[in-house]
Amino acid sequence: MSSLSQCNMLGRLSNELILVCDDDLVVREANGLAVQTLGTAIIDHSLFDLFSPAAQGKGTAFVAELQRLSADQITPTWELMLDVPHGNKLLIGIRGGKLPGRGWLIMGGGEPSGISNLYHEVLALNIELTTLIRKLSREQTVLNDRIQRLLDLQEQYNVQPH
């Protein structure tokens, strides 16, 4: 099976964005998720075109690290901001490596660590908020009971308000 066929199979099985770039880092192939997320315009465009203007420096550093790799190495995951033509910018964790022969395989997706940390922080805050709401509800019940007892006492002693 050729490396191109293997990349196609990997692209159908994966839940990550997959880009196959030539030696000049021009995107030649992308899996369905990458096309759906980033648009069909990514094909035949430079990988640099995907980085948002604010992420160009970090994107250039990612590519420099990618180009220093030997054939059996991959980059660590980099959090990079990509421009999505039909939507907002997308913060994604991407990594890459050299394909056998020529070109580059770039994969991304999942939750970049920053996004994951934020998610867990929001989850913890949500739990704390739920606890506070329950506590407030219990205190509200106690106050309602006290008010009702005062009203009952007022009615019992027929005390008229001044």
- What distance in Å separates the CA atoms of residue 54 and residue 149, rounded to the nearest whole number? 63
pLDDT above 90: percentage of residues in the chain: 38
The dihedrals phi and psi of 98, each to the nearest 5 degrees, come to -80, 135
pTM over 0.75: no
> For 1-47, how does the pLDDT look when each residue is reduced to its tens digit (9 = 90+)?
444 454 555 545 567 889 999 999 999 999 888 888 888 888 998 98
The closest alpha carbon to 18, from 9, 6, 30, 8, belongs to 30
Mention the CATH class of domain 3-110: alpha beta
pLDDT above 70: percentage of residues in the chain: 80
pLDDT of residue 143: 95
The closest alpha carbon to 101, from 25, 19, 2, 16, belongs to 2
Q: Is the pLDDT score of 113 beyond 70?
A: no
Q: Which of 14-18, 55-59, 156-160 has the weakest average pLDDT? A: 156-160
Q: Is the pLDDT score of 146 beyond 80?
A: yes
82 token code pair: 């990509």
Type of residue numbered 152: D
98 within 8 A of 85, measured Cβ to Cβ: no
Q: Are strands 104-108 and 27-30 parallel, antiparallel or unpaired?
A: unpaired
pLDDT of residue 98: 92
E strands, the chain, in order: 17-21, 27-30, 78-82, 90-98, 104-108
Domain limits, the chain: 3-110, 112-162
